Amino acid sequence: MKKLQESPLSKAAAVVLMLALTFTGAVFALKAVQAVPYLDRESYQETTEFSRLCRTFEDQIASAFALERQLEAEDLTYVERQQLTRELEQLKQSFDSSATNFRFVVCNDAGEDVAFNLNAGEELPAPVHYARFTLGEPWAEELYQAGYAAVEATAAEDGVTEITIKAPADPVSYTIEYAVVPGEQMLESGVEDALCQLYLRYDTATSTFSTWVGVAGSCLVLAAACILFLLWTAGHKAGTEGIVLTWQEKIFFDLYLAAMLVAGTAVFAGGWWLLEYYYHTCVEQQGQEGAWLPLSIAALCTLFAAVIALTLRTFAVRLKGRALARTTLLCRVIVWLWRKLVEAGRWMIELVRSLPFLWRTIAGFLAYFLANVALFTEARYNALAGAIWWLLNLAVLLFLCRWSMGFRKLRRGSQAIAAGNLSYQIDTHRMPHELRCHAEDLNNISKGMAEAVDEQMKSERFKAELITNVSHDLKTPLTSIINYVDLLKTTQQEDPKAREYIEVLDRKSQRLKKLTEDLVEASKASTGVLSVNREKIGMAQLMDQALGEWQEKLEARKLTLVTSLPEGETWVYADGRHLWRVLDNLLSNCAKYAMEGTRVYLDLVRGHGQVSLSVKNISREPLNIPPERLMERFVRGEESRTTEGSGLGLSIARSLTELQGGTFELAVDGDLFKAMVTLPQAN
Amino acid sequence: MTHTILICDDDRDIVSALDIYLSSEGYQTVKAYNGREALRAVEQNDIHLILMDVMMPELDGIRTTAKLREGSNVPIILLTAKSEDADKILGLNIGADDYITKPFNPLEVIARVKSQLRRYTSLGGAEKGPGLLCVGPIAMDDSAKQVTVDGSPVSLTPIEYNILKLLLSHPGQVFSSAQIYEQVWNDPAYGSENTVAVHIRHLREKIEINPADPRYLKVVWGLGYKIEKGANG
């Protein structure tokens, strides 16, 4: 398929075929044209040619009668008589039944047959035509002038022709009844007169008309198919991808089209003129102009087809190569104008934008104000000005609305960013220019900040990973230390100092163990790598369980627990294990740092969709640091770090609470230490 | 009869420390320093229990456990420095019988070893009679009112006994303090559930090797207590 499309041979063949087909089609069409005068006639006897021939015969019959009448005159010279006699003989000969297929009977007004050329026993074949002529005066003078009988034939009604011969004697009228021998008999008798030829021509022309039309039509259809093929192959060339533009496509399409239009019109007009000439001479007049006329008409048709094919081809190539607009002068001009216009518009906008904002506002307002005043004054006399005034104010209102909408968007965006939503991007679509610049700046700020925060998070996570890995590595040697210290303890030590040292080692290694465990947990909790499985948790139940774990230890330190719970169970949505860790850390804090003999208060309060659990105790040491510091890692209520505890408990508790969507607050009032965990209540 | 225990860890000091503890308890020991050596040692010796580290070169503890489980049901206790729940669950699912997190308490190691060995050698197919409640190593003979853990009797107070009986008869089910109180004391609970938590802690101290990290009597924080259904082993 592609090969066919690209082959130059197929294209050439199609061109030749198309031209040949057009030429042949035109020739055949011209043949069909010959039958055009006969098309609406039922028989050859109804053609104009037939009636013209009959008129000639009528004239001749009337002439013969006139000649005979003339011969009757007595004052004729010999020469005149001879001349008239010869003429009469000639006429009579031409009426002889062996010389013509025309049959007639002439009768006078009395109904007697005066003359006829019927063979013996022959009757007038149908259809019979009638004609009438009158021989009358004055005729001599005219005869003199005309040389022989002057016959005045007047077309009368009913196809009967009135012929008046200006004879010297009394006027006499005759009627001619005539007919033509039927076609088959004409051919049989072999009398080949003009009537026979007419019959033959009519017969061939009508019987072959449809054939010629069919042949010409199919030729033209095939030629059209050839043109379609050419259009399909146009622009494809072997060895190159895509559409190839030839020199023809370098000519602007509108110029090309105009040239082709002129050429086509000229060819068409010439062809039409020749066709009309051909019709008049060769068809209507039966003239023989030779072969050159139909051939030249066909050649012009072929030329016309070539012009159309060329025009269509270049159109198709331009369409296929998407070069129509590019190669059309008009399009180029319009595009150029549009571009200049856009440029000018941009320049104008640039000019306005380069003005300071204040100036722009003042200029805009002045323009609006002046237009307003002018239009308002004009509106009294001019309805159009009134309409424009309304439109102007509507436009200004719309402009202000757009501004305020943009401003609202901007405001909302900056609020969101201020509230900490750094991923918020203000939609700058359809914003006035000033506001858009502002919004883009804000977007850039928030993007930068979001990136910084993200970076921070990443480094936090990296730190957590590092701590976890280091802790894992610490655990292995720690295991050995704890185990061997334990083994040392089982050996017999004579020196009491050695026993004391081993005791220290034991204590410190246990503390180291606790520290590494807390460290891992703290780093995990603060970076959010811990998995949180939130479910409905009963706070009263949890407190109960926690107290069950801690009651005895607290009592051992002479601490009294005072709990207050609301009626019924209080449900929160949290991870039980993490929440237990929070409570565990808080109670362990009490056990470590509360003053002996005091009370520890545990209060559970619910309301406003929140549940808060507070733990209050009196510190044994003075709390000389603010609560924020207490939550920092490795910070403890006393400066010396000799006591148990890692200083990570509160930090872990806060991180775990926040992981579950709650808040963790500390308050220090003198020696009163208060921790409050607030979680959203579950229904 | 002395039992042979395979100790496998890439840290030689830990292996020798464990060796000292276990030898002093009268066990025979075989040492290995990675997963491959452990597999070879199991082939060459008659091993009754394996103590194995998780993070080891060449073949780690998890994969070694999986390989061993293809042809043996010898008790395996994993030693792990990873204290994350996911690792413990993976280890138990792959076929380990118990786990101990590093840094461990030697007493706990010995207790767990003893427990596993007792169940492996004597309680292979624990006989189940009527009135005998069994979950893991805990067995309660209701007719004799006796509770044994790994075959050794535990003395419980009547309340502890009743609580344990309630939980054992519904393994896997979570009971809140109030529910336990109502069932055991036969009294409606009016804020006196606190005692339940204390009793349970005592109970846990009696039947669990490490009460802070219970294997059988579990605390479901904020919801209640339960006996682990089909607890490991």
CATH number where B221 lies: 1.10.10.10
Chain B residues with CB under 8 Å of A476 CB are 11, 14, 81, 102
The reply to whether B36 falls in a domain is yes
- Residue of B216, B217, B188, B190 lying closest to B201 (CA atoms): B217
Give me the number of domains chain B comprises.
2
Q: Which residues pair with A594 in a beta bridge?
A: A619
Residues B158 and B116 in one domain: no
What average pLDDT score do residues A327-338 get?
91
- Residue A478 forms contact with B (CB below 8 Å): yes
What is the pLDDT, as a whole number, of residue A137?
Answer: 43
Closest CA to A33 of A201, A209, A289: A209
Reply yes or no on whether the pLDDT at A140 is more than 60: no
Q: At what angle do helices A194-233 and A48-71 cross, to 10 degrees?
A: 160
pLDDT attached to residue A634 = 60
Find chain A residues with C-beta within 8 A of B106's C-beta: 483, 486
Which pairs from A79-86 meet CB under 8 Å and 24+ separation?
Answer: A84/A148
Enter the tokens of residue B18.
């464990």
Which single residue is written with the structure tokens 């808040």? Answer: A663
Q: Are residues B88 and B56 part of one domain?
A: yes
- ipTM topping 0.90: no
Determine contact, residues A115/A127, Cβ cutoff 8 Å: no
The answer to the question of residue B139 being in a domain is yes
Structural domain contains residue B233: no
Which positions 121-160 of B are in contact with A (Cβ < 8 Å)? none
* CB proximity B201 to A under 8 Å: yes
Structure token digits, residue A424: 């918020």
CA distances for A386 relative to A365, A396, A399, B194, angstroms: 20, 15, 20, 88
- CB contact under 8 Å between B198 and A552, yes or no, is yes
Best mutation target among A465, A473, A480, A573 (most B Cβ atoms within 10 Å) is A480
- Is the omega angle on the peptide bond into residue B158 within 30 degrees of 0, that is, cis? no
A216 touches chain B (CB under 8 A): no
CA distance A549 to A590: 13
Boundary of a domain, candidates B91, B121, B151: B121
Over B146-180, what HEC string results? EEEECCEEECCCHHHHHHHHHHHHCCCCCECHHHH
Facing B17 at nearest CB: one of A484, A513, A565? A484
Whether residue B110 is found in the same domain as residue B151: no
Looking at the DSSP bridge assignments, the partners of residue B170 are: none
Under 8 Å between Cβ of A482 and B107: no
pLDDT digits (tens, 9 = 90+) for A67-98: 777 777 777 788 888 888 888 888 888 887 77
Between positions 431 and 470 of A, the ones with CB within 8 A of B are: none
pLDDT given for residue A169 in this prediction: 52
Both B100 and B154 in a single domain? no
Do the beta carbons of residue B172 and residue B135 sit within 8 Å? no
Q: How far apart are CA A347 and CA A341, in angstroms?
A: 10
Residues in a beta bridge with A613 = A604, A677
Distances in Å between the alpha carbon of A182 and those of A122, A124, B101?
Answer: 13, 10, 134
Cross-chain residue pair B224–A541, CB shorter than 8 Å: yes
Q: Determine the CATH number of domain A444-529.
A: 1.10.287.130
Which residues in chain A have their CB less than 8 angstroms from residue B14's CB? Answer: 476, 479-480, 483
Find the mean pLDDT for residues A54-77.
Answer: 78
Domain boundary among B72, B90, B121: B121
Chain A residues close to B177, C-beta within 8 Å: 541, 544-545
Check whether domain A532-680 has CATH 3.30.565.10, yes or no: yes
User: What pLDDT was estimated at residue A541?
Assistant: 87
User: How much of chain A exceeds pLDDT 90, in percent?
Assistant: 16
Alpha helix (H) residue ranges in A528-574: 539-556
| CATH number of the domain to which B25 belongs | 3.40.50.2300
Do B89 and B143 have their domain in common?
A: no
CB contact under 8 A, A576 and B221: yes
Residues of A whose CB is below 8 A from B193: 541, 544
Q: Residue A16: what are its φ and ψ, rounded to 5°?
A: -60, -45
Cα separation, A7 vs A372, in Å, equals: 72
Q: What is the rounded average pLDDT for all residues in chain A?
A: 82
User: Closest Cα to residue B98, out of B16, B213, B206?
Assistant: B213
* Residue A51 CB neighbour total at 10 angstroms: 14
Q: Is A553 on the interface with B (CB under 8 A)?
A: no
pLDDT of residue B49: 92
Name which residue leads in pLDDT, A422 or A489: A489
Instruction: Compute φ and ψ for A610, nearest 5 degrees.
Output: -120, 150
CA angle A341, A344, A346 (to 5 degrees): 110
- pLDDT for residue A258: 93
Tell me which of A129-143, A172-186, B3-17, B64-78 is least confident: A129-143
The answer to whether residue A388 neighbours chain B at the CB level (below 8 Å) is: no
Strand partners for B148: B139, B153
Are B111 and B140 part of one and the same domain? no
* Separation of alpha carbons A482 and B107, rounded Å: 12
Average pLDDT over residues B70-76: 87
Contact predicate A532/A659, CB 8 Å: yes
Q: Tell me whether residues A541 and B13 touch, CB distance under 8 A.
A: no
Nearest residue to A613 (alpha-carbon basis) of A678, A558, A665, A661:
A678
**Which of B121, B151, B183 corresponds to the end of one domain?**
B121
Write down the pLDDT at residue A148. Answer: 39
pTM of the model: 0.51
Is B126 within the bounds of a domain? no
- Is A520 in contact with B104 (Cβ distance < 8 A)? no
Tokens in use for A123? Answer: 């009757």
Does B173 lie in the same domain as B101? Answer: no
Give the type of residue at A396. Answer: V
Rounded distance between C-alpha atoms, residue B215 and residue B232, angstroms: 8
- Structural domain containing residue B217: 132-227
Contact status, residue A584 vs residue A654, Cβ threshold 8 Å: no
**Number of neighbouring beta carbons within 10 Å of residue A656:** 28
Q: What is the pLDDT of residues A531-576, one digit of tens each?
A: 788 888 888 888 888 888 888 888 888 988 888 888 888 889 888 8
Residues B78 and B168 in one domain: no
Q: Say if A130 is an interface residue toward chain B (CB within 8 Å).
A: no
Residues B12 and B110 in one domain: yes
Q: Which of B106, B193, B201 sits opposite A549 (nearest CB)?
A: B201
Q: Are residues B14 and B112 in the same domain?
A: yes
For residues B107 and B149, state if they share a domain: no
Q: What is the pLDDT of residue B128?
A: 55
Helix, strand or coil, per DSSP, at residue A215? helix
Residue B127 lies in a domain: no
Q: Where are the domains of chain A?
A: 2-33+203-320, 44-191, 444-529, 532-680
User: Which ranges of A103-163 does DSSP label H, i.e. alpha helix?
Assistant: 140-146
Nearest to B221 among A478, A545, A551 (CB): A545
Do the domain assignments include residue B232?
no
Cis bond leading into A477, ω under 30°?
A: no
Q: How far from B69 is each of A426, B42, B48, B75, B170, CA to CA, in Å?
A: 60, 12, 14, 10, 30
Nearest to A479 among B102, B198, B221 (CB): B102
Helix A576-593 to helix A649-659 angle (10° resolution) is 160
Instruction: Give yes or no: residues B35 and B86 share one domain.
Output: yes
User: pLDDT value at position A222?
Assistant: 93
